[in-house]
Amino acid sequence: MCLGVPGKITEIYEQNGLLMGKIDFGGVLREACLSAIPDAQVGEYTLVHAGFALNRISEEEAQITLETLREIIDLNEELSPEDE
């Protein structure tokens, strides 16, 4: 239940006093409440849980994580080729 689904914000609007948005989950559009990311912009990525956007997803941080892990792996392959 604590799972979240990543998606892209395609529209932002207000409804009954709540900040809401349309989120594109890889082709499927659904509505989510954006109250916890009040300065969200169309085109940004977010993680939605139970119809509620928990936070933005930082693409920059995602790339840093991936690069760090690739570096660890590359370094080890160089240092210990017998593993391969």
Binding site for another protein (CB under 8 A): 1-4, 6-8, 16-18, 24-27, 33, 35-38, 45, 47, 49-52, 54-55, 57-59, 61-62, 64-66, 69-70, 72-73, 76-77, 80, 83
Cβ atoms within 10 Å of 77's Cβ, excluding its own: 11
Tell me if 70 sits within 8 A of 78, measured CB to CB. no
Tokens 């139970």 correspond to 50
Tell me if 6 sits within 8 A of 46, measured CB to CB. yes
Least Å from the CB of residue 1 to another protein = 6
Residue (11 or 58) nearer to another protein, CB = 58
Least Å from the CB of residue 41 to another protein = 15
Tokens 């989950």 correspond to 25
